[in-house]
């Protein structure tokens, strides 16, 4: 059973690695449609013209948990800008609800998002998808991935990209 799962898993990963489209030499973000823990639906097609910041994480990842306060500051800093923050988690909804009571996270948290997480992985030289958690992804207004960084060091790249995105383009406020 485990071998069959691994085979199917590897096949799905290989599918995400081939045929990725490009915009100005940058990878086009894969299409996604996810629902947050509080019922909000986020569809990549409806997020066009917005900057999207993704955090790929899970509860038992020490670095993922350690950076939550810093990520919350980022959300506060850009709350009036045309940016959407989404946390794609591997954990189940009940686990996340319990965790978030003690560790508030201001991103829109999506439970059990492993399939979407895998779609944002990047193939290595052997074509295998490896995701080091936490992973940060920034998608620009055109749907191109402009940042894809693993680890806590990726947070600085996210900050720099948000500054760049909103320095040159006025934000849309509601």
Flag whether 173 is in a domain. no
Q: Tell me, what CATH number does 64's domain have?
A: 3.40.30.10
Domain containing residue 109: 2-168
Q: Which two tokens stand for residue 59?
A: 């509860």
| Distance (Å, whole) CA 25 – CA 57 | 27
Please, what is the average pLDDT of the chain?
86
pTM over 0.75: yes
Cα angle 12, 123, 67; round to 5: 100
Flag whether 127 is in a domain. yes
Q: Spell out, as residue ranges, where the chain has pLDDT lower than 70.
A: 1-26, 168-174
Flag whether 156 is in a domain. yes
Q: How far, CA to CA in Å, does 114 sit from each of 4, 22, 72, 78, 171?
A: 18, 24, 22, 27, 31
Q: Which two tokens stand for residue 39?
A: 């019922």
Q: Which pLDDT score is estimated for 3?
A: 45
89: three-class secondary structure by DSSP: strand
Q: Which pLDDT score is estimated for 60?
A: 97
Q: Which pLDDT score is estimated for 4?
A: 41
Flag whether 174 is in a domain. no
- For residue 149, which of 128, 126, 133 has the smallest C-alpha distance? 133
Residue at token pair 């760049």: 164
Number of domains in the chain: 1
DSSP for 70-116, written as a single string: HHHHHHHHTTTSSEEEEEEESS-HHHHHHHHHHS---SEEESS-HHH
| Distance (Å, whole) CA 101 – CA 118 | 27
């Amino acid at each position: 059973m485990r071998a069959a799962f691994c085979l199917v898993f590897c096949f799905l990963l290989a599918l995400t690695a081939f045929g990725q489209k490009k915009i100005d030499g940058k990878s086009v973000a894969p299409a996604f449609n996810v629902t947050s823990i509080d019922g909000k639906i986020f569809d990549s097609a409806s997020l066009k013209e917005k900057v999207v910041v993704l955090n790929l994480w899970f509860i038992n990842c020490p670095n993922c948990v350690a950076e939550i306060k810093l990520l919350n500051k980022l959300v506060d800093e850009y709350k009036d800008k045309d940016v959407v923050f989404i946390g794609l988690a591997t954990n189940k909804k009940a686990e996340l609800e319990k965790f978030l009571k003690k560790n508030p996270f201001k991103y829109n948290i999506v439970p059990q998002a492993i399939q979407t997480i895998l779609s944002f992985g990047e193939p290595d030289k052997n074509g295998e998808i490896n995701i080091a958690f936490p992973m940060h992804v920034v998608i620009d207004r055109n749907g191109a991935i402009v940042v894809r960084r693993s680890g806590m060091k990726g947070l600085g790249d996210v900050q720099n990209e948000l500054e760049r995105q909103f320095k040159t383009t006025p934000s849309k406020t509601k």
